Chain A
């Protein structure tokens, strides 16, 4: 399939990037990759599961804070292992999503715009909460979060330098990207598409809609939590902005511009938007956000499948018999 070829080409280009780009851009792209992973988490729950979560930063920020708390030894000073931090930063948001999702989806549940508003409100509330939680740094957040330590069996290898950090993050992102691709093409992906298409019908074929929604919501939260955790180890800093309103809407824009129903497009949406932001803001100053807004509107109105997904799909159209135009 042509699709795989495009994917390989893109990740090969990303792998080769540090050969051409200097340390500065390698560092920047490390962030972009993490944002890309975050975008994948939203693509999974929104594009595939049909659940529009407008507060995806809830899970990104929770992951970030949990990672900081563990690796800074704020609860157990002797247990600052990075792997433990990642584990907590993945399971914590997943459990939070299960609890939240149970309230949101049980019974008749809420969906569509109502769900979007409720999740957005939760993000705003959490941002306020973290701003006033002084034990966790309050408005200033937590500083000096140690970098990722990927050592094993007592050996320690901390990711201080740009190059190894970039490749470790890339390896994580590629692995998860492939895993998500397998997942969405599996029988679970089939059920997700059906859930997005016709949720009410699914129950009459024996599927527990609540269970499926909880699973996809929690999986997405786990991914978002992991991206938040990776982010704070690279940045060394966690603050309430990581959990709140603006990051939640930003990731939504990346995914919408890229294309929410296509993992690769959502991922590239994050990378390209963040990359463009760098040089476009230098060229146009504050007008940059206007350009971003216009691009978002163009994608919603003109190309609802996404500015990146539409050409990508044209490029990689699978050869499957299509009906003649009626």
Chain B
């Protein structure tokens, strides 16, 4: 079977820095995968390359067999790839409901009607626990709520692949656990393929998914949480040699 997302020979250099270096990866449809790695290992650059924010120097990215390398971001988004940014990127002046209506348009203004109150929006509001605040301006939400709203916006976009860049950055422990549960739910019941970038160990453990360890622009190791955690090379690189990670 053809891989859902297949990346081969991907290179991206900034000045003298090889941010992504001969990178290979493939994801199966319906999978949930996390990429972990220290700051500066090339994780966010990888997302920028997949979503078209950056053009690779070399290599190809195939999405469902189609070459999307170097396409502009809006075209990649229309093909069914959604992306969540590290800093919550919601539209502050719009209401929560409007924030969900916008991605549901999928980049095309087909009707003059401003449809913000439909069954789908209501279901998503419910899923991201923002029903009570549906008419609030997004700028008035708390940080954690904004993160959830952005996840809701991705759902409204109805993508087949979701890329999440540190979705729990700045969240409390309870919020982090709830977010992990939400992401598993999106993946399992929604059938959406999910790729997460994260370096919060608690969160990664709660995702209960295969991990890829990234370092210096390449995949260093892959495996489940336990095997990665016990890997010496990974400990040295990521957790620090002698210290075991704190839960």
Inter-subunit contact B93/A321 (CB<8 Å):
no
Task: List the interface of chain A (C-beta within 8 A of B).
Answer: 182-183, 185-191, 193-194, 196-198, 200-201, 203-209, 320-323
Check: B238 CB closer than 8 A to any chain A CB: no
Residue of B nearest to A205 (CB): B103
* Pairs across A and B, CB under 8 Å, 10 listed: A185-B114, A187-B111, A190-B94, A190-B102, A193-B94, A201-B85, A203-B74, A206-B107, A208-B74, A322-B136
Residue of B nearest to A185 (CB): B114
A195 CB, nearest partner CB in chain B, Å: 9
Number of residues from B at the complex interface, CB < 8 A: 38
- What secondary structure prevails in chain B residues at the interface with A? loop
Across the interface, which residues of A come within 8 angstroms of B140, CB to CB? 322-323
Inter-subunit contact A189/B77 (CB<8 Å):
no
A205 vs B104: C-alpha distance when bound (angstroms): 9
Inter-subunit contact A205/B77 (CB<8 Å):
yes
A322 vs B51: C-alpha distance when bound (angstroms): 35
Produce 1/0 per residue, B51-73, CB < 8 A to A. 10100000000000000000011
Known contacts A190-B101, A204-B74, A208-B107; 7 further A-B pairs (Cβ under 8 A):
A187-B105, A187-B109, A190-B98, A198-B89, A198-B92, A205-B82, A207-B107
A205 vs B106: C-alpha distance when bound (angstroms): 6
Inter-subunit contact B89/A187 (CB<8 Å):
no
Task: List the interface of chain B (C-beta within 8 A of A).
Answer: 51, 53, 72-74, 77-78, 82-83, 85, 89-95, 98, 101-103, 105-109, 111-115, 133, 135-137, 140, 153, 157
Inter-subunit contact B109/A206 (CB<8 Å):
no
B90 CB, nearest partner CB in chain A, Å: 8
Across the interface, which residues of A come within 8 angstroms of B113, CB to CB? 186-187
Q: Which 6 A-B pairs have the closest CB atoms?
A: A206-B107, A206-B77, A203-B73, A323-B140, A206-B78, A205-B103
Inter-subunit contact A204/B83 (CB<8 Å):
yes
Inter-subunit contact A191/B114 (CB<8 Å):
no
B116 CB, nearest partner CB in chain A, Å: 8
Inter-subunit contact A193/B93 (CB<8 Å):
yes
Q: Contacts A205-B103, A207-B107: A187 and B77 contacting too (C-beta < 8 A)?
A: no
Across the interface, which residues of A come within 8 angstroms of B91, CB to CB? 193-194, 197-198, 201
Q: Contacts A204-B73, A205-B103, A209-B74: A194 and B94 contacting too (C-beta < 8 A)?
A: yes
Across the interface, which residues of B come within 8 angstroms of A200, CB to CB? 89
A320 vs B190: C-alpha distance when bound (angstroms): 32
Q: Contacts A201-B91, A205-B157, A323-B140: A187 and B101 contacting too (C-beta < 8 A)?
A: yes
Across the interface, which residues of B come within 8 angstroms of A191, CB to CB? 102, 105, 109
B247 CB, nearest partner CB in chain A, Å: 32
Across the interface, which residues of A come within 8 angstroms of B92, CB to CB? 197-198
A321 vs B112: C-alpha distance when bound (angstroms): 25
Inter-subunit contact A321/B107 (CB<8 Å):
no
A205 vs B92: C-alpha distance when bound (angstroms): 16
B217 CB, nearest partner CB in chain A, Å: 23
Q: Contacts A203-B77, A205-B157: A186 and B106 contacting too (C-beta < 8 A)?
A: no
Q: Contacts A187-B105, A188-B109, A201-B89: A207 and B74 contacting too (C-beta < 8 A)?
A: yes
Inter-subunit contact B136/A206 (CB<8 Å):
no
A262 CB, nearest partner CB in chain B, Å: 13
